C-alpha cells in the first residue's frame, strides 16, 4: 500500500506532501510547495515506451516506403499507358487516302465566287481545315469520284488548298497542287501549292509539280541542278529510283468580261477512313 498525507490548514494552499510508499506501488508522488500533484512513471516504463515508439516508427516507415513504391509504379504505368494511347491517337490521325479536285466559280461577290468554286470541286458541303503540304506515308491516291464517297455534309475535312481570285476582265489566273511520291511508301512525300496570274494551266501545273519534286529530292539527298529544266530534272529523279511519281491538278480561268469575281481552286483532300 501507498499513502500520501497532506499537511495544510483550512482554506490555505497546500504547503507540503509526505509520501508513504508501500509494497506493490509503481508510482511516486512528487510535489513541491504550492504545486499540483503529478504522476511520473518509473524509468522502466520510459524504456518500454521508447521501445514501442521505435517499433511503431519502423512500421510506419516501412508502410510509407511500400506506399511510395506503389505510387511510383502506378504513376509509371499510367504515364506509359498515356504515351501508348497518345501514340495510337497520332497514328489514327494519319490519312489513309487522298484525292485531288478542282473548281471555278464566278459571282459579283468574291466570297460567293469562292463558294461556287467549292461546289464545282464537290467539297462545298464540308468544313475545310487547311493543312500544310505533306503526302502521308502509305497513303493511297484515289480518283475524285471515289474520294467524294467518303465525305459527309458538315464533316470537318483536312485539305491542302490553292486558291486565286480576280475581278479584272480577261485576266488569266490559275491555282495548282503538285505532288511528289517517294518509291519507299513508308516515307512521306510532298504536296505543293501554287497560284499565279498570266500562266497557262500547263505551265502552272508543271511549276507546282516541280516544287513538290524538289522538296522531296532534298529530303532524299537526290543531287540535281536547280538551273536545269523540269524535263531534265524529271529524268534525274527517274534514274535515282527514289521518286516514283510526280503529278499535278490545276484549275485555270479567264477573268469574267463583265468584271465579276472569278475564283479558281485546286485541292488535295485527306481521308482518314
Shared domain check, 259 and 141: yes
Where is pLDDT greater, at 175 or 225? 175
pLDDT band at 92 (very low <50, low <70, confident <90, very high): confident
Shared domain check, 196 and 79: no
The whole-angstrom separation of Cα 212 and Cα 116 is 28
Shared domain check, 115 and 8: no
Where is pLDDT greater, at 90 or 132? 132
Instruction: Provide the pLDDT for residue 31.
Output: 44
Q: Tens of pLDDT along 13-52?
A: 444 444 444 444 444 444 444 444 444 555 555 555 555 6
- Name every residue whose Cβ is closer than 8 Å to that of residue 254 and which is 6 or more positions away in sequence: 170, 171, 172, 173, 262
Instruction: Provide the pLDDT for residue 4.
Output: 45
DSSP 197-221: ES--HHHHHHHHHHHHHHHHHHHTT
Instruction: Provide the pLDDT for residue 84.
Output: 63
- Name every residue whose Cβ is closer than 8 Å to that of residue 186 and which is 6 or more positions away in sequence: 137, 138
Q: Where are the beta strands (DSSP E) in 137-242?
A: 140-141, 156-166, 172-182, 189-197
Give me the number of domains the chain comprises: 3
Q: What percent of the chain has pLDDT over 70?
A: 66
Shared domain check, 216 and 100: yes
Indicate whether 239 belongs to any domain: yes
Shared domain check, 239 and 195: yes
Indicate whether 28 belongs to any domain: yes
Indicate whether 130 belongs to any domain: yes
The whole-angstrom separation of Cα 236 and Cα 244 is 12
* Placement of cell 470537318 in the chain: 156
The whole-angstrom separation of Cα 194 and Cα 211 is 9
Instruction: Provide the pLDDT for residue 233.
Output: 80
Q: Tens of pLDDT along 135-175?
A: 999 999 999 999 999 999 999 999 999 999 999 999 999 99
Shared domain check, 111 and 11: no
pTM given for the model = 0.67
Indicate whether 14 belongs to any domain: yes
Instruction: Provide the pLDDT for residue 37.
Output: 46
Answer for the pair 157, 270: CB distance below 8 angstroms, yes or no. yes
- Range 162-191 average pLDDT: 96
Indicate whether 56 belongs to any domain: yes
> What number of residues does the chain have?
273
Instruction: Provide the pLDDT for residue 24.
Output: 46
CA distances from 95 to 89, 135, 269, 270 (A): 12, 9, 10, 6
Indicate whether 65 belongs to any domain: yes
pLDDT exceeds cutoff 90 at 203: yes
CA distances from 97 to 147, 160, 189, 268 (A): 8, 13, 13, 10
Q: What percent of the chain has pLDDT over 90?
A: 53
Instruction: Provide the pLDDT for residue 80.
Output: 65
Instruction: Provide the pLDDT for residue 181.
Output: 94
Shared domain check, 266 and 166: yes
CB atoms within 10 A of CB 86: 10
SS3 content of the chain, % helix, strand, coil (to 5): 35, 30, 30
Instruction: Provide the pLDDT for residue 226.
Output: 72
HSE, side-chain direction, 13 A CA sphere, residue 239: 9
Shared domain check, 58 and 26: no
* Domain extent for 227: 96-271
Answer for the pair 96, 272: CB distance below 8 angstroms, yes or no. yes
The terminus-to-terminus CA distance of the chain in angstroms comes to 94
Q: Tens of pLDDT along 39-89?
A: 455 555 555 555 565 555 555 555 555 555 555 555 555 666 666 666 666
Shared domain check, 252 and 204: yes
Shared domain check, 114 and 72: no
Shared domain check, 145 and 80: no
Indicate whether 45 belongs to any domain: no
Shared domain check, 7 and 35: yes
Instruction: Provide the pLDDT for residue 238.
Output: 76
- Range 106-111 average pLDDT: 97
CATH number of the domain that residue 103 is part of: 3.50.20.10
Mean pLDDT for all residues in the chain: 80
Amino acid at each position: 500500500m501507498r499513502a500520501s498525507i497532506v499537511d495544510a490548514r483550512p482554506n490555505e494552499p497546500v504547503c507540503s506532501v509526505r509520501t508513504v510508499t508501500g509494497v506493490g506501488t509503481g508510482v511516486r508522488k512528487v510535489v513541491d510547495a504550492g504545486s499540483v500533484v503529478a504522476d511520473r512513471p518509473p524509468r522502466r516504463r520510459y524504456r518500454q515506451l521508447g521501445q514501442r515508439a521505435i517499433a511503431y516508427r519502423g512500421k510506419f516507415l516501412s508502410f510509407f516506403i511500400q506506399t511510395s513504391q506503389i505510387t511510383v509504379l502506378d504513376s509509371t504505368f499510367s504515364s506509359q499507358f498515356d504515351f501508348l494511347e497518345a501514340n495510337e491517337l497520332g497514328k489514327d490521325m494519319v490519312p489513309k487516302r487522298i484525292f485531288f479536285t478542282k473548281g471555278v466559280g464566278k459571282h459579283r461577290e468574291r466570297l460567293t465566287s469562292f463558294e461556287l468554286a467549292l461546289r464545282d470541286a464537290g467539297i462545298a458541303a464540308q468544313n475545310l481545315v487547311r493543312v500544310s503540304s505533306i503526302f502521308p506515308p502509305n497513303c493511297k491516291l484515289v480518283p475524285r469520284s471515289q474520294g467524294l464517297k467518303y465525305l459527309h455534309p458538315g464533316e470537318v475535312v483536312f485539305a491542302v488548298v490553292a486558291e486565286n481570285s480576280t475581278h479584272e476582265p480577261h485576266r488569266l489566273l490559275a491555282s495548282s497542287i503538285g505532288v511528289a511520291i517517294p518509291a519507299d511508301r513508308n516515307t512521306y512525300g510532298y504536296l505543293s501549292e501554287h497560284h499565279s496570274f498570266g500562266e497557262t494551266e500547263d505551265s502552272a501545273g508543271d511549276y507546282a509539280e516541280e516544287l513538290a519534286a524538289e522538296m522531296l529530292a532534298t529530303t532524299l539527298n537526290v543531287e540535281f541542278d536547280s538551273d536545269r529544266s523540269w524535263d531534265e530534272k524529271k529524268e534525274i529523279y527517274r534514274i535515282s529510283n527514289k521518286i516514283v511519281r510526280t503529278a499535278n491538278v490545276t484549275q485555270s480561268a479567264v477573268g469574267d468580261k463583265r468584271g465579276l469575281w472569278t475564283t479558281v481552286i485546286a485541292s488535295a483532300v485527306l481521308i482518314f477512313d
